[in-house]
A and B are shown apart, each in its own frame.
Chain A
Amino acid sequence: MNIHEYQAKDILRREGVPIPPGEIATTPAQVEQIARRLGGMVVVKAQVHAGGRGKAGGVKLAKTPAEAAEVGKKILGMHIKGLTVEKVLVTAAADIETEAYVGIIIDRASKRAVFMVSPAGGIDIEEVAATDPEKIMRLPVDPRYGLLPFEAMEMGFFLYKDIAKARAAARIMQQLYRAFIDSGASLAEINPLVTTPDGEVIAVDAKMVIDDNELDRRPDIAALRDESAEETGELQARRANLTFIKLDGDVGCIVNGAGLAMATMDLVKYYGGEPANFLDIGGSSSPEKVVNALRIITADAGVKAILFNIFGGITRTDDVANGIVTATKQSPLKVPLVIRLTGTNEEVALKILADNGFAATSDMDEAVQKVVALAKGGAK
């Protein structure tokens, strides 16, 4: 789960990370009030779950409260990578001398949380990794001991020669690590970590991604979810316990299992079509899940044909067949449907479908070729 910059900053502030003051606004008038309260120069920052906000014009400086209101008016309601900006963070502008990067990720290779720090901050860390790898220090943390003080100091010295700044940075890394662990994060970064002309070390931007598997045991973190920042179909799917990701194509795909769902999308592409989505109805299906899945897919006006690809291992194919019949009775389909199912209770499923006027195949390639042709307006 993504959380907003202001939410990540709240979490880090609670751990003691020094961060310039800021507040959230949803109207230009609020932006102006906050700017007046803060005094001096402010930054108005779009709060959306998308990278590259700065490049898209979603982050702007303002010298006066009036200018802040004007900037706020431009940013609120703008679209960044398909997402509408509903909120902005208005924060005191920092006087920046140097910019560094500090991040923690889960590293699959070492199977640990790994710190990545670099004195070349403020830009995309992946670019630094590609062009100047020696400017990045990596430090895997042993989960049994946590981040040890000398390790934090090593990273502090990697960023700053000055002992006071190195100590300040080390303290921030300890705080960031605690926030990472206590929030169940899979990524936490401060980019940039800046030094000011009077020698302070402060966090100017923050980002955290929470491991979805942590949310059940961390209700306070789960409550940070901003549903207004999610795509409608994806929100509906999550509520129905389905995994759905919208794409730009016209072949709607309903599949059981993530690997098979991806392979199905790939096969659509292989046969010249474009998948409209990723949708996994999961291992144990119920007719209700199928009904919800069809509702979400048919809400996308771009979908020209729909494919069911079900391999019944644990999933009962008769459950899926019943779901298809129920869903299409509730709201008849306006686009053609191709059904591929095989496995558990296949005979029962095929009979249910046949009794209700649906044809089905057991061959995946045949089904995909057919649905691609139908999406292109070909014959049935």
Chain B
Amino acid sequence: MSIYIDRSSRVVIQGITGRDGSFHARQMREYGTNVVSGVTPGKGGQKFDGEVPIFDTVADAVAETKANVSVIYVPPPFAADAMMEAAAAGIALIVCITEGVPVLDMTRVYPYVKEHGARLIGPNCPGLITPGECKVGIIPGRICTPGSVGVVSRSGTLTYEVVDQLTRAGIGQSTCVGIGGDPINGTSFIDVLDAFEKDPKTKAIAMMGEIGGTDEQEAAQFIHDRMKKPVVGFIAGQTAPPGRRMGHAGAIISGSAGTAAEKLEAFEKAGMGIARRPKDFVELLRARL
């Protein structure tokens, strides 16, 4: 077991012939992901790498190849439309890797996707991976190993750092999910924590947050009220100055809200394990497995 994706996932890649899309299409296939089709308007009927059928629309790809997971690599101006197209075509899980999607676009995409009953992960995220089974997105497969720690994070390379340290220490992962660093994204910490709580294979959870917003505080409340499984948390940006966007559009302290101190305090109140450094995850999780 795992969450969101596994061996049975049938993946369509939106933007499969683009620079990033084609590179990661190959990486995903190499990892063993069942990439059933790709979408590039105008290239319908062609084949990617001589094997993967390309369609003009997501609806065609779903009708012909029964895709149920979509991953999006299209440029920012077209990403909102791509997410909504996937939802309209009946895709159950939409993963948007694209960075730089305007936030006003997301105010329209979010309710649209929800009304169509789809789950959106991202945008501006590394995607997710169930080690040994399926990877959707850009998380490097070789740093992961199957196991029972669920990983959820707002960032990319910081996630790789922690997952790599876990793997080196012999601690495997059930599923790793990058929810993305934008102010409005499809899946929250709480959504993923809830899924991990219900997943029999996941025994403990590593959660990496950042400054900005109140997602981590709400997640801490959820952990306190509703979860039995142990969660270890980390917050990046303890040295970040207020009012400055730290790379991610969502990583900004507004006034006195969204500071690392405020989030860590919420973690403490929720009785979570607190990793002060990325490497602390190893011992804190080992003690909880």
Contacts and interface: CB of A to CB of B under 8 A. Distances in A.
Contacts of A106: 103-104, 107, 183-184
A161 interface: no
B190 to A, nearest CB: 12
Contact of B77 (A216, A262, A313, A344): A216
A127 to B, nearest CB: 9
Contacts of A181: 104
A214 interface: yes
Contacts of B246: 245, 258, 261-262, 278
B104 A364 contact: no
Given A263-B278, A266-B238, A113 B104 contact: yes
Interface residues of B, number: 59
A260 B210 contact: no
Nearest to B215: A108
Interface string B87-125: 000000000000011111011101100000000000000
Given A258-B181, A262-B236, A113 B107 contact: yes
Interface in A199-249: 211-214, 216-217, 243, 245, 247
Interface in A24-80: 51
A259 B246 CA distance: 8
A18 interface: no
Given A109-B214, A267-B277, A364 B248 contact: no
B240 A278 contact: yes
A123 B211 CA distance: 26
A380 to B, nearest CB: 23
B76 A243 contact: no
Nearest to A274: B239
Nearest to B108: A143
B146 interface: no
A298 interface: no
A259 B156 contact: yes
A275 B236 CA distance: 14
* Among A217, A256, A313, residue most surrounded by chain B Cβ atoms (within 10 Å): A313
Interface in B126-181: 126, 138-140, 143, 153-161, 164, 181
A275 B245 CA distance: 16
A101 B243 CA distance: 20
A271 B77 CA distance: 42
A184 interface: yes
A278 B248 CA distance: 12
B256 interface: yes
B50 interface: no
Contacts of B249: 211-213
Nearest to B158: A259
A282 to B, nearest CB: 9
A83 to B, nearest CB: 13
Q: 5 closest pairs, A vs B, by CB?
A: A259-B155, A258-B247, A257-B157, A259-B158, A262-B236
